[in-house]
Structures are given as structure tokens and as C-alpha cells.
Amino acid sequence: MEPLIESFNYILQNIINALQRGSFYAVISIGYSMVYGVLMLFNFAHGDIFMVGTYIGFGIATVLLATFGGLVPPPVIFLATVVITMFLASWIGVFVEVAGYRPLRQAPRASAAITGLMIGIIFETTILIMLGAKRLSFPPLMETVNYHIGGIYITNVKAMIIIISLLLMLALHAFIQKTKWGMAMRAMSYDFLAVPLMGVSINIIAPLTFAVGAGLAAVAGILYGQAYPILDPYMGVLLGWKAFVAAILGGRGSIKGAALAGYLLGFIEIFVATVFPSTLRDFIAYSIILVILTFRPRGFFGMEHSTKLRL
Amino acid sequence: MRKIAVLTVVAFCAAMMFSSLAFSARKTIIKIGINAPLTGDIPKVGEGSKYAAQMWLEDIENAGGLEVGGKKYEVELVIEDNESKAESAVKANTKMITQDDVLAIVGPQSSKQAVPAGEVANKYKTVMISPWSTNPSTTLDRPYVFRGCFLDPFQGPVVANFITEEFGFTKAAVLYDVASDYPKGLAEVFKQAWEDKHGAGSVVAYESFTTKDTDFSSQLTKIVKSGAEVLFTPQYYNEVPLIVSQAKNLGWTGPIVGSDSWGSAETIELCGEDCYGLFFSSHYAAAGAKGATKAFIDRYEKTYGYIPDDVAALTWDALRLAQQAIQDAGKLTGKIEKDREAVRDALAQIKDFDGITGKMTFTEEGDPIKCAVIVRINHQGEYEFYGSSCP
């Protein structure tokens, strides 16, 4: 019996690991998908928006901890950090749309994609110039408690990451399905040309979409800072690529698909490493995804281009 | 408007080129190249190299220049950033050798850059001393490439011996970055040494990841399950805190042992109390240093505000080695190719050089024979001398 329980625990432990990893992919890939749904372009600066969001979160957390640390309970500081960072980071999203993509709205899509890459490089180097190449350590916003439940280790940070990510996605779902803004976004993704004729301004909806995506990425950044507390100006690049893969896998423009594919990616990466030598992890993980895409080139929830895209 | 802007830029570039040409053409200045990772993954390493080089230059300037064959020469440092990338290190070496006419190069620090950059230096017949690269390929079959530290084939067994003697363990786990020369090489050497000691299969988990990964949970879960008693992870200071804290969060309770790449001043700053009580092998330990080593540490700390790490100490030694080689060369002809060759020959001849990281004599391959130090991170977060091991 003993080995059976042990391997069961082993699998359960890896499921928790995968949920944490997948949460980041899911939340970030939603940002890709939303922008694609509304504007039919992939915002390749999104990984770097995540990075900037993490740095903003770092700044806010440091200031709040220095001023109020010990005076107010940690959850309050955490919540305040999340709210302020979300607000500030969403302006970064707006800035990217207005300065980077709006002038190119009529230009070929390739120009817009390249612009995204350039904006990403500008963000990376801006952070590098402003803060130097020195690594920063994200301050812990709460005491890490490690729970040992029947052979499984889970920290409060891990649990929080998984729960908050799920809550964020539910909130986003409600926003898109229940509010007027959300309706406008859905309409925009349904017909890019007709919606402006109905009196919905694309110049409001597009930046709003970017703002929401950037806000989500920034929260992901704060959570990331709690799980992996070393900040690096290039931290958004690899994560951005992988989240982009998740967005494609989920079906371009589908938020549901992006979230699902994000978690799937987390599970594939973790479980490939548990079965195969870890050296082959990314090779095998991404080969699997390649195979999935061969059979479902539009991803899980992707639509034919001619039948319009849906959020 | 646009034309004017373009013209201005062109004119500016041209002016820059001419000014540097004008400089290099006139009187003989001894130029020493520094190829360091000022940005990128390990900027603290670059900072330490730069500071040590500046201190060295200060000494030369205070002495009114470097005396070679009874004549004093002005010394200039050419500091290039290799962004901790292999291709940038190659570019930096090529530029310093072909455009700046450096007499010798100190750096790059880590093997990932030093191995490919050494190829360039050797091709152009310019002395390169890597202070910190412990991978054998750096100097192998390259008469112009030297180093200031011991080698991984030496360091791996030292760590394996230390763990065996100190704790009496027989099962070890290894976690390393497969995409970087240094951790990969050292992990292999350690595995070999450990299995020679405790039999095949005694490395019960041999897990890897790739550069930029921050999540090691699946590998560490495997390692915890494997029943290993000790975890060896030869990683750099930006990864050590993540590995240590994630291991603890996944239920790892045994010791974690590292290598000389842990020795950066920033490891403790980033890792905090998680790293207290851990061990690593290194080139020198700041706490408890004596003599010239202490003088160097005190001066560095006074100038730059923190205790120098091993990279700074080794860079200092490498520069002093270069200095001695240049002086031993006898005279400078002003013909750069000839001078470079003379410096190389002089450097290869150096015996019992008294560096602050130990006495050095070069082998045929340009590798010094010197001792390793086992450092313990004490509960004040200082690097404490714990023991030493000589070849």
C-alpha cells in the first residue's frame, strides 16, 4: 500500500505545481487573446507589459511596506498593492495602444506585430536604464506558511496564487458578459467595421481592452513576485512567448480557450518533466503542443476567420 | 528636418571614429581590455570586475604609470559589456583586439562567455586571462588563454569529498542549468566524482532546467521523492534563492551545497535567511582573511561599500598577473603583435605568483595550480572560512 500512496501523493504534488505554473500562463495569455479578439492583432509587447507591471508592483509594495508595514494587517497591504498596481499598469496598456498601435491601425498586421516587439525592447531597456542591471528581490507581502497535508506540501502563497488567478478570470468573465463595456468589446470582436457605426468608439474600446489586459498581467506580476521573488528586466520574454503559445492553443480571440490552454500548458510542462528527463522537458512539451495544433490548427475554441471571432 | 537629423548623426559618428583613431595612433599606451557582464543575467559579477579593475588602475596611476624596461607607460582600461551573452563576449573581444589594440584582456568571467571568447583571443594571438571561468575548454589547446581560478574537474571532486567527509552521505541529487557551460560541466564532473566514490546510481536524481526558468517545482518534487540526502546545485546567484526557497517549500530538509558561482556578494542579499547554514566551494572567503587579501577587502569595502566577492578578488589577481607578465616581457616595441607574444611568453613563465586568492603556478594549459576553500554561510549572512582542500 505504501508505495501506492506515495506515488499518489507525488502526482497530487505535481498537480499543485502545475496549477501554480498554469495560473501564470492562463492569466497572461488572456491578455493576448482579448487584444486579438478586439483588434485582430497579437500584442507582442504583452510579456513586457507583465514585466513592467511586476516592477510597478515591486515599487508600490516597497513603498507601502515602508510606510504602513506593521501598522496595518498584511492582507490590507497586499490588496492595496494589487489595486494601485492594477490601476497604474492599465495606463501602460493604454499608452501602448495609443502610442504604438493606433497610428498603425490601417497598416498591415505585420507592422503592428513588429511594433509590439519594439515596444517590448523599449520597456526592457527603459527598466534597465532606470534601475540598472542589479537584480531586485520582490518583498514578501505575507509570511510564507508551509502546510504539510498528508505527504503534500503547499504554501499559503501557492494556494493564494491559484485562488486569485481563478477569481480574476471569473471577474473578467463577468465584466465581459455583464457590463456595457464588455458588450461593446464582444460587439467589436464580432464586427470590427459595423460597431463604430452603432456609436461605439473604437478609440475607447481598444485602449480599454489593453488596459484590462495590462491590469491582469500586473496582478499576475505581483503573484509572480511572491512565488519567484527575483526581478529581471527580461523576465517577461519567455513567459510572454509561452503565454502566446497558450493563446494560440486556446484559439485566437477566445478567453475561455486561453485560460484553459494556459493551465494545459502548465500541466504538460510539469508532467513531462516528471516522466521524462527534465532536460527534454521543453522539447517534449512543445512537440506535444505542435501535434495538437497540427490537428486543431485553430486551437480549442478558434473560429474560422470568415465567421468572425468571438470573445 | 529629417535630413538635418540624419546628417548630424552621421557627422557625430564620423567624429567619434576619427577621435578614437587619433588616440590609438600616437604614443604607446598600454591598453588592457576588460570583458565583463555589466548587464544581463549576472550584472553583479560585472560590477565586481569593473571595480577591481578601477582599483588596480588607480594603483598604476598613483605610481605614475606602468614601468616596463625602465620606461613608464600610461595605462588605459577598455571596458566592454558582454551582456552575459556568448555572442556579445565574442564581439567585445574582437573589437578590443582589432580596433582598440589592447595588449591583454582580462575576462570574460563565466565560462559561457569565456569559452567562445577565448577562441577569438587565441586566434588573434592576444593574451586573455579569465579570472573566474572554471570550465576546462576555456584554456584547452589555447596557448594564449589563461585563467585565474581552479578548474571544474578539480572543484567537483572537492565538493564530493567534502560532503562525504562532513556528513557521511551516500545519496546525492543534482539540479543544474543544462543551457549554460559552467553548471552543466560542473554537474557532470560532480556526478562522476560522486559515483566513483559511492558506486553507480548513487546520484539518485540528476535534474536540469534551462536558463531563465524560474519554476523548478517538478524537478524539486522529483528530487525530494528520490530520497537524496544532499542537493548539489552549481548555479548563479540569481537562481540560488529561487532553488533554495522552492526546495524548502516542497519539503526538502537536507543540506544544499553550491559551487564558486554562489560566492557573489548578492547571493545573500537576494536569498536572505533561506541560505544561512549552507555550504559552497570557492576561491576565497572574506570573513577571516589575512594579509594582502585583507588589505584588498578593506580597501574595496571602503571605496564601494560592500565586501568584495571572489570575482573581484580573482579579477584583481588576473590584472596583477597581466601586469607582472607585461613587466617581465622586458620592453615594449610598440608593435602590438610582437608585444602580445612577448607578454604571453612571460605569463607562461610565472612561478609561485603570490595572489590574494592563493599562490599560482601555471600548468602547460594555462591553468593555475591552487587550493579551494569551503565556505559556510553563517547566521549573520557572512561567508565564513570552513575548510580548504589542495590538489
**Cα–Cα distance for residue pair B290/B300, rounded to 1 Å:** 15
B359-376 pLDDT per residue, tens? 888 888 888 888 788 899
Which grid coordinates are listed for B281? 566551494
Which among A17, A21, A230 has CB closest to B238? A230
**Is the per-residue pLDDT at B49 higher than 80?**
yes
pLDDT of residue A211: 96
3-state SS assignment for residue B374 = strand
**Band of residue A5 on the pLDDT scale cut at 50, 70, 90:** confident
State what percent of residues in chain B have pLDDT above 70: 93
Q: Looking at CA atoms only, how far is residue A305 from chain B in angstroms?
A: 35
Which among B40, B217, B238 has CB closest to A17? B217
**Band of residue A23 on the pLDDT scale cut at 50, 70, 90:** very high
**Is the per-residue pLDDT at A29 higher than 90?**
yes
* Residues B275 and B340 grouped into a single domain: no
pLDDT of residue B352: 86
Range of the domain at B142: 30-150+289-370
- Indicate whether B11 belongs to any domain: no
Query: Which residue of chain B is at minimal alpha-carbon distance from A279?
Result: B208
Kindly state whether B221 is in contact with chain A, defined as any CB-CB distance less than 8 angstroms: yes
**Band of residue B27 on the pLDDT scale cut at 50, 70, 90:** low
**Cα–Cα distance for residue pair A186/A89, rounded to 1 Å:** 23
Query: Which residue of chain A is at minimal alpha-carbon distance from B217?
Result: A17
pLDDT of residue A100: 93
> Angle, to 10 degrees, between the axis of helix A2-39 and the axis of helix A156-178?
30
Which among B40, B221, B238 has CB closest to A13? B221
* Residues B120 and B159 grouped into a single domain: no
| Residues 3-32 in A contacting B (C-alpha not used; CB under 8 Å) | 6, 10, 13-14, 17, 20-21
- Indicate whether B100 belongs to any domain: yes
* Residues B177 and B226 grouped into a single domain: yes
- Indicate whether B380 belongs to any domain: no
| Residues 251-310 in A contacting B (C-alpha not used; CB under 8 Å) | 269-271, 273-274, 277-279, 281-282
**Band of residue B25 on the pLDDT scale cut at 50, 70, 90:** very low
- Indicate whether B332 belongs to any domain: yes
Would the pTM count as exceeding 0.90?
no
Which neighbouring-strand residues pair with B360? B353
Which among B212, B219, B272 has CB closest to A278? B219
ipTM confidence score: 0.89
3-state SS assignment for residue A238 = helix
pLDDT of residue B344: 92
pLDDT of residue A198: 86
**Band of residue B17 on the pLDDT scale cut at 50, 70, 90:** low
pLDDT of residue A309: 47
* Residues B60 and B132 grouped into a single domain: yes
Across the range B10-23, mean pLDDT stands at 56
Which among B214, B237, B266 has CB closest to A228? B214
**Is the per-residue pLDDT at A54 higher than 50?**
yes
Higher pLDDT, B176 or A105: B176
Of B230, B257, B282, which closes a domain?
A: B282
Contacts of A137 in chain B (CB under 8 A): 241, 269-270, 272
Which among B208, B221, B245 has CB closest to A279? B208
**Is the per-residue pLDDT at B18 higher than 90?**
no
- Dihedral sign for Cα A174, A180, A183, A188, please: negative
DSSP per position, B233-277: ----TTTHHHHHHHHHHTT--S-EEE-GGGGSTHHHHHHGGGGTT
Contacts of A228 in chain B (CB under 8 A): 214-215, 242
Q: Looking at CA atoms only, how far is residue A193 from chain B in angstroms?
A: 36
**Band of residue B11 on the pLDDT scale cut at 50, 70, 90:** low
B146-183 pLDDT per residue, tens? 998 888 888 898 899 999 988 999 999 999 999 888 89
Element housing B127 (H / E): strand B127-130
- In terms of DSSP H, where are the helices of chain B? 2-25, 43-62, 86-98, 111-123, 152-167, 181-198, 217-226, 240-249, 266-271, 291-304, 310-328, 336-349
Query: Which residue of chain B is at minimal alpha-carbon distance from A124?
Result: B40
**Band of residue A310 on the pLDDT scale cut at 50, 70, 90:** very low
Which grid coordinates are listed for B305? 561599500
* Residues B118 and B192 grouped into a single domain: no
pLDDT of residue B290: 79
Whether residues B251 and A238 touch (CB distance < 8 A) is answered with no
Query: Which residue of chain A is at minimal alpha-carbon distance from B175?
Result: A278
pLDDT of residue B7: 65
* Residues B142 and B192 grouped into a single domain: no
- Indicate whether B391 belongs to any domain: no
**Is the per-residue pLDDT at A305 higher than 60?**
no
pLDDT of residue B332: 86
Q: Looking at CA atoms only, how far is residue B331 from chain A in angstroms?
A: 40
* Residues B71 and B146 grouped into a single domain: yes
Give every CB contact of residue B210 below 8 A, 6+ residues apart in sequence: A282, B177, B178, B179
- Indicate whether B114 belongs to any domain: yes
* Residues B125 and B174 grouped into a single domain: no
pLDDT of residue B130: 93
pLDDT of residue B24: 46
Whether residues B178 and A229 touch (CB distance < 8 A) is answered with no
A286-297 pLDDT per residue, tens? 999 999 999 998
* Residues B255 and B106 grouped into a single domain: no
Whether residues B248 and A146 touch (CB distance < 8 A) is answered with yes
**Band of residue B9 on the pLDDT scale cut at 50, 70, 90:** low
Whether residues A10 and B221 touch (CB distance < 8 A) is answered with yes
| Residues 281-300 in B contacting A (C-alpha not used; CB under 8 Å) | none
Of B231, B247, B282, which closes a domain?
A: B282
How many domains would you assign to chain B? 2
**Cα–Cα distance for residue pair B66/B75, rounded to 1 Å:** 7
Of B282, B308, B323, which closes a domain?
A: B282
Contacts of B43 in chain A (CB under 8 A): 132-135
- Indicate whether B309 belongs to any domain: yes
- Indicate whether B183 belongs to any domain: yes
Q: Residue B59 to residues A77, B64, B246, B296: CA-CA distances in angstroms?
A: 50, 9, 45, 12
* Residues B294 and B239 grouped into a single domain: no
Kindly state whether B183 is in contact with chain A, defined as any CB-CB distance less than 8 angstroms: no
Q: What CATH number should be reported for the domain holding residue B167?
A: 3.40.50.2300
* Residues B180 and B87 grouped into a single domain: no
**Is the per-residue pLDDT at B144 higher than 60?**
yes
Whether residues B242 and A137 touch (CB distance < 8 A) is answered with no
Which grid coordinates are listed for B243? 532553488
B198-233 pLDDT per residue, tens? 999 999 999 999 988 999 999 999 999 999 999 999
**Cα–Cα distance for residue pair B32/B343, rounded to 1 Å:** 12
**Is the per-residue pLDDT at B8 higher than 70?**
no
* Residues B103 and B173 grouped into a single domain: no
The rounded mean pLDDT for chain B is 88
